[in-house]
Structure formats: structure tokens, C-alpha cells
Amino acid sequence: MVYALGSLPTLGHYSNQETLDGDVFKIEVADKTPDAGFDANTAATYPARQGRPILPEHVFTRVEWQESAPVPDVETVRGLLVVSDRFREIVEKYEPGVHQFLPVEYVDGHGAGLAKGYVFVACNRIDSVDRAHTTMILFKGLWVPARDLDRRKQEIPPGIDVNAEPKLVFNNAQIGGRHAWSDMFLPLYGPYLSGALAMALEAERFTGIALGKQESV
């Protein structure tokens, strides 16, 4: 099984928060080595979804939490996933030393500490999508719905139904034994988790966590 990891609001609305340092628009991946899916513009826009470590220089380290409710275990801050220490411990149990966890402190309006967390970057970069069962088209390094390419007058490969519902199917053999990864051709989505890791996280009943089951073969 494969699951997409994300966050959900715990307060009935997206939380009010403010980063007190860093600049997310300047964050860069540490390794810019080209590969079949690497695009410099996409990497600059979504540096934490490349399956490669990011340079910590411009990553925020302090966040002002502007809510009365507790900070959730999984939270999106300026497009980056921030997770609790227990979340980090579980991921490290499954893949020790593989992924990046950059410390973040939550403070109140007076600067007093409320909680500690980590910016989480999955650092396995793989091609995990199954070619035989996926109904989307790999176009210029991105999986794109066939109907979108058809509207743009692009050539559609034989056997593809442009009217079919776009479907991504992951390949368990390509994933191998990995437990957290970013797909090199899906930089706008993820990270993705193995069923084992997702179930271990779900068992903790973490607040704010969103786990979306994905089809795989």
C-alpha cells in the first residue's frame, strides 16, 4: 500500500501563524544534479518535495502560534510540513538517518516556547509510478492528465483514452523497501509513505495528519 502524507486543519480553519525568521522563497535543494525529472524552476518552487535534502540557511526556525488551541502534531507552515518529535522518532525507526528533520520552535506572541517540531523532508527520490496501469502521460518530466495534453494539441500515445478519469498507480517493485519518498515526476505532491509507516503513524492518532491511500500494484 502507498499513502500520500499531508496535513489537515484541526481548528475548523487553517491556523493563524507567522514565521519569525527564514525566507521560504530562498530555500534551495542541496543537490542540483540533473536527472530525468529534475527541473530547476520546479525545484526552486517546491524544494522540499524533490526527495533531496534542502539547505537549512533560509528555513524558518521559529513560528509564532496565534491560536489558543495546542499546536498539532502535523502542520503545514509556508508550504513545508512540520511534524512532532514523536513523528520523527517513528520515521527514524523505519529509515534511520535517511530523511531530513530541521528543528522548529513554536512560540506565543510574547516569545515564550509552546512546542517543538521539525520541518520534514523525505529524502528518497525515486520513480515510483507504474506505467502499465497509470492513465496519465509523462510529459516533460511531469505526470499530466491526457485530456490536458489533448486540449493543448499535444500528441497522445496509442492506447490512451483522453476521456478516462486520470489515474496514478504506484509500483511496489519500484518503491522497493523504501518507507518515505518523493516521486521525481510528481514534485507538486507527496511525500509518499509505505503502508507500514503510514499505519505506524496512524496508530499514534497524531493531530493534523492526513493520509490519503493511493492505488498500487
The answer to whether 100 and 121 have CB atoms below 8 angstroms apart is: yes
DSSP string, the chain: -EEEEEE--SSSSPPPEEE-S--GGG--BS-----TT--HHHHHHSGGGSSS-B-GGGS--EEEE--SSPPPSEEEETTEEEE-HHHHHHHHHHSTTTSEEEEEEEE-TTS-EEEEEEEEE---EE--B-TTT--SEEETTEEE-HHHHHHTTPPPPTT--TTSPP---B-HHHHTT-SEEEETT-TTS--EEEHHHHHHHHHTT-TTEEEEEE-B-
The pTM (predicted TM-score) of the whole model is 0.93
Domain boundaries, the chain: 2-127+171-214
Alpha carbon distance 134, 174 (integer Å): 14
Alpha carbon dihedral 79, 188, 34, 30, in 10-degree steps, equals 20
The burial of 157, by beta-carbon neighbours within 10 Å (0-12 exposed, 13-18 middle, 19 or more buried), is given as exposed
What per-residue confidence (pLDDT) applies to 59? 98
Bridge-based pairing of strands 100-107 and 113-121 is antiparallel
Alpha carbon distance 52, 109 (integer Å): 34
pLDDT in tens, the chain (217 residues): 999 999 999 999 999 999 999 999 999 999 999 999 998 989 999 999 999 999 999 999 999 999 999 999 999 999 999 999 999 999 999 999 999 999 999 999 999 999 999 999 999 999 999 999 999 999 889 998 988 887 887 878 877 788 888 999 999 999 999 999 999 999 999 999 999 999 999 999 999 999 999 999 9
